[in-house]
């Protein structure tokens, strides 16, 4: 983020992704690196490719209210991209589309990582049925790589609420998935 991540940037009038990407590019790369690491995508899922794909999704939006809105949208876009890549990897593992050529070879993901990511995504959907705010926090923290402070800002919550709900959400997900599927440590 620019100078101080806790200070939201006033984006009035609503600014588009084209105007915001240069401002937040380093932050988006950091978020993408974190998302790649958390889903064990390793060297096969390139940070730049993930940021570029997120940019293409963000361009479809009519604008963003503030920096928190933009970063939340970026987290959602990255999650959707990672899920799509995981689904494609699982389909390829099962032999689907053997004659097709992938659009972006840089976005390949190992099958084991793809399975884990899809399990996490499915569990996150179930969590949204139990507690939508908990799912939003996981999306921001796990897929978007946002800090507690940034997540609070993005969701309009207090940091204390985010911290408390993050603990609840991780516990719920670990009970659903087990500790080996969800690679979330202490204060990640």
pLDDT, one tens digit per residue, over 51-109 is: 888 888 888 887 788 888 888 888 888 888 888 877 777 776 655 544 443 434 434 44
Query: Within a domain: residue 68?
Result: yes
Tokens for 133, please give them: 């705010």
Whether 7 is in a domain gets the answer no
**Residue 5 within a domain:** no
CA distance 166 to 61: 28
Q: Is residue 161 part of a domain?
A: yes
In a domain, 108, yes or no: yes
105, part of any domain? yes
Q: Which of 79, 80, 63 is nearest to 17 (CA)?
A: 63
What's the pTM?
A: 0.58
Residue 28 phi/psi, 5° resolution?
-65, -40
Domain extent, residue 90, equals 13-177
User: In the chain, at which residue ranges do the beta strands (DSSP E only) sit?
Assistant: 10-15, 64-66
Residue listed under structure tokens 């053997």:
98
Task: Give percent of the chain with pLDDT exceeding 90.
Answer: 14
Judge whether 8 lies within some domain.
no
* 49 within domain boundaries: yes
Q: How many domains does the chain have?
A: 1
């Amino acid at each position: 983020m620019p100078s101080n991540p806790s200070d939201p940037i006033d984006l009035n009038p609503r600014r588009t992704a084209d105007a915001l990407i240069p401002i937040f590019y380093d932050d988006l790369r950091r978020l993408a690196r974190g998302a790649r690491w958390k889903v064990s995508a390793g060297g096969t899922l390139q940070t730049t490719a993930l940021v570029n794909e997120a940019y293409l999704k963000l361009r479809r939006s009519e604008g963003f209210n503030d920096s928190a809105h933009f970063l939340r949208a970026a987290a959602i876009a990255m999650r959707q991209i990672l899920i799509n890549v995981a689904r494609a990897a699982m389909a390829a593992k099962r032999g689907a589309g053997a004659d097709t050529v992938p659009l972006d070879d840089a976005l390949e993901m190992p099958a084991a990582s793809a399975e884990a990511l899809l399990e996490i995504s499915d569990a996150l959907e179930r969590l949204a049925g139990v507690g939508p705010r908990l799912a939003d926090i996981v999306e921001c923290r796990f897929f978007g790589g946002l800090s507690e402070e940034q997540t609070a800002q993005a969701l309009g919550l207090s940091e204390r609420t985010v911290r408390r709900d993050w603990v609840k959400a991780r516990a719920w997900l670990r009970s659903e998935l087990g500790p080996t599927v969800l690679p979330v440590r202490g204060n990640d």
